[in-house]
Chains A and B, each alone.
Chain A
């Protein structure tokens, strides 16, 4: 805090000093504030994506729906998918990682605080860029998977926004992944060996590696799509010998690791929540960690099971069928780890545990229907039906979203110092659990009865009416559950119970400091002696006799010597240049002129900002 009162002029312009207010948030490099920004943004997108889903369900509530026309329906289901994947599940995981990684490994911040801020701003601007398409001639309408040549030939400009918007979001993910890898590998407190890391940290590390290697693959595919759409290249143009299967390979080579990018953080959260509320150590820590790594590795060898209906040939199909069945093994290991953790535990049914149990049970259903896709002849019948929609909502909503809510309820007191309501939290869980199963359970049946995905309406007399109506009711129950959560948040802000440092009798380092944590996290960097170190310190197991009782850190200690990274304008400025350049490409695609100038202006802004960033010291003395 040596910078208070002094304005150093070593950079391009004076360093920002505001810690509160709008400028405080816009220039912050504090991982906790950035985590909150990520979380709030992701939740707003969750509401928007949910609203799109409500419209989709209204349209499909009965036969011959008239709420949306075909064009708008295509935009809504595409944007619903893109929003929930890239703007909700991924960033909500990143929000929790941002807030929790330094606290759980005993660090004062992430390795690159300004890069962290840059990631957030690029993510936010990428999301806004994608949504601006609604007002600029129509949103992406070729599905989240963007199959060529449909995506290259659609007359509307939506898929140009798709190719650029996902590219921008990919930059944010890549920067975040590098940051988290270095933080976890390099900034652990003394004694925090890799095999003492909380499982959430392990899964964040595996997720970051998946992002690191998956993002460049989709980046290439998106560039090819952009060159085809905007500059008349021939990557996917059939008449010039282009190969649409290339898109599918590149997309799913990214897309399947992406599935694990979304689910692994939730698996990590659940692996930390279950021991806390069962008051037992995690059962089979090493097996769980290695199963997570195995999923991360094997996730690269299963992509073509998304392409069984393409006709790759029996050898390729059989190989990918086998690898897909094999990846169920480490997943099954994890399930038994979780069950073993609960077995014989002193279980407290608090909202975080309920959501974690919701995760485990719903993920088992989604995992099992996933195994049915591995069987090629069966998959040929399921492809492009609602059975697939049921499957991936069971893993991504029943799995990832329930897991993320478990994390939100679990760590909320650490974020804000106040508890979320217990009763209303349980109401939220049961509404979401019932609404979820009402919405997506019947899709298994409808899919097997042959209802196709991505079709904006269906005729009478198909026998699909009843279950579709039930699903629409379910969607509204989910909407109600989201509102319940909002009410819970507002009530907690106004008159929530003070949390104290350790409301759940936790096991890991983040519970050893005050809630919310001080800006510098730890007065003294802790020395870790054991897995679940805080638990052992509290209950004095494995503490050498004669050592003083551990003091819970945090509060008003003397921390004048701690140099925290200083706020900076440059991450935000560098991020702003990127969507500007992307709008320039959109202009070229519309042949309205001015595009190259706008691209150059955007790139120049980013370049100058990166230059200012590079010569600015991380911490002002």
Chain B
């Protein structure tokens, strides 16, 4: 997590912050995680032996809106970082909460989408398409949820004065921001590959 673990008298060899380097490493690992899930989906999207096919069930306009909502949360995340870099804690909390709210809207939309799909006859157990779709998008949703929790934690830390001084606060917000933007970018890839690329 976002705490600086090293005694302050130790400068890093590369000049890069330790936690930021660790986050980049972790996100590199996550690329392979989502890469494997997306590959599985690509393998199975055309193999529907029972139940609805992808394009019988996707509601592209609906998902486009929720994708737009998630995309906007990256903007508010940037504004949050800009606020803490100015030392503006109130602005930080407003934009963090806005980001979390947009994230929760996205998750709410996903829950609604999943519910609709189940009603229309697509479950985890229905077909290989169902399994690979729900596990891929479900893991993405779990990542967004973890991100929301971290955003709310930053709000709490700001209230408790644990994001001082400005350099330390900026570092923590930027770290969570890296994660948040990554999860957004993964969704852009999922949206294009899963929803927009036509199946046969």
Residues of A that sit less than 8 Å from B by CB: 107-109, 111-115, 174, 177-179, 181-182, 185-188, 192, 212-217, 219-221, 223-224, 227-228, 231-235, 237, 240-243, 246, 250, 525, 561-565, 607, 610-611, 613-619
Chain B residue total in the interface (Cβ 8 A) = 48
Which of A111, A217, A562 lies in contact with B22, CB distance below 8 A? A111
Between B40, B48, B50, the greatest number of chain A beta carbons within 10 A of the residue's beta carbon is seen for B40
Contacts of A242 in B (CB 8 A): 44, 128, 131
Please tell me if the beta carbons of A185 and B125 are within 8 angstroms of each other in the complex: no
- A182's partner among B22, B124, B127, B131 (CB-CB below 8 A) is B22
A315 to B10, CA, bound (A): 53
The segment from B29-37, B85-93, B102-110 that touches chain A is: B29-37
Selected A-B contacts with CB under 8 Å, 16 pairs: A112-B18, A179-B22, A181-B22, A186-B16, A216-B30, A223-B135, A232-B125, A233-B131, A234-B131, A237-B128, A240-B128, A561-B9, A562-B7, A610-B1, A614-B157, A617-B3
- B7 and A221 contact, CB distance less than 8 A: no
Inter-subunit contact A615/B162 (CB<8 Å): yes
**Most chain A CB inside 10 Å of its own CB: which residue of B32, B125, B126, B160:** B32
Residues in A whose Cβ lies below 8 Å from that of B2: 614
CB distance from B114 to the nearest CB of A (A): 14
Is there a chain A Cβ closer than 8 Å to B28's Cβ? yes
A108 contact set on B, CB distance < 8 A: 7, 10
Let me know if B12 and A186 touch, CB within 8 A.
yes
Q: Are A613 and B3 in contact (CB under 8 A)?
A: yes
B125–A563 CB distance below 8 A: no
**Would B22 and A618 count as touching, CB distance under 8 A?**
no
B3 touches A220 (CB 8 A): no
* Given pairs A215-B29, A220-B33, 14 additional interface contacts (CB within 8 A): A111-B5, A111-B6, A114-B5, A178-B26, A182-B25, A186-B12, A187-B12, A223-B139, A227-B124, A227-B131, A232-B125, A240-B50, A241-B44, A242-B131
User: Quick one: which of A188, A214, A234, A618 contacts B13, CB cutoff 8 A?
Assistant: A188
Q: Which 3 pairs of residues, A with B, have the shortest CB-CB distance?
A: A216-B33, A220-B36, A618-B5
Q: Which A residues touch B6, using CB under 8 A?
A: 109, 111, 187, 565, 618
Q: What residue in chain A is nearest B26 (Cβ atoms)?
A: A178
**A233–B124 touching, CB < 8 Å:** yes
Q: Which residues of A contact B18 (CB under 8 A)?
A: 111-112, 182, 186-187
A118 to B149, CA, bound (A): 20
* Closest beta carbon of chain B to A175's beta carbon, Å: 9
CA distance A223 to B34 in the complex (A): 12
Select which of A111, A212, A565 is within 8 A of B28 by beta carbon: A212
Given A113-B5, A564-B7, A614-B2, is A234 in contact with B149 using a C-beta cutoff of 8 Å?
no
Contact of B7 among A235, A563, A616 (CB under 8 A): A563
- Complexed CA–CA distance, A525 and B9 (Å): 11
| Inter-subunit contact A224/B128 (CB<8 Å) | no
- Residue B111 lies at the interface, judged by CB distance under 8 Å to chain A: no
Contacts A187-B13, A220-B40, A619-B7 given; does A212 touch B25 at CB 8 Å:
yes
> Which of B6, B16, B32, B37: most chain A CB closer than 10 A?
B6
Find chain A residues with CB under 8 A from B7 CB. 108, 562-565, 618-619
Q: Indicate whether B14 reaches chain A with its CB closer than 8 angstroms.
A: yes
Q: Beyond A185-B21, A213-B28, A217-B36, is A234–B5 a contact (Cβ under 8 Å)?
A: no
Q: How far is the CA of A140 from the CA of B128 in the complex (A)?
A: 25
Q: Is B130 an interface residue (CB 8 A)?
A: yes
Asked if B192 lies at the interface with its beta carbon under 8 angstroms from chain A, I say no
Identify the closest chain A residue to B16 (Cβ).
A186
Chain A residue at minimum C-beta to C-beta distance from B172: A614
Judge if B196 is at the interface, Cβ distance under 8 Å: no
Nearest CB of A to B21, in Å: 5
How many Å from the CB of B172 to the closest CB on chain A?
A: 9
- Residues of B within 8 Å of A214, CB to CB, are 32
Q: Which residue of B lies closest to A220 (CB)?
A: B36
Q: Is the CB of B3 within 8 A of A614?
A: yes
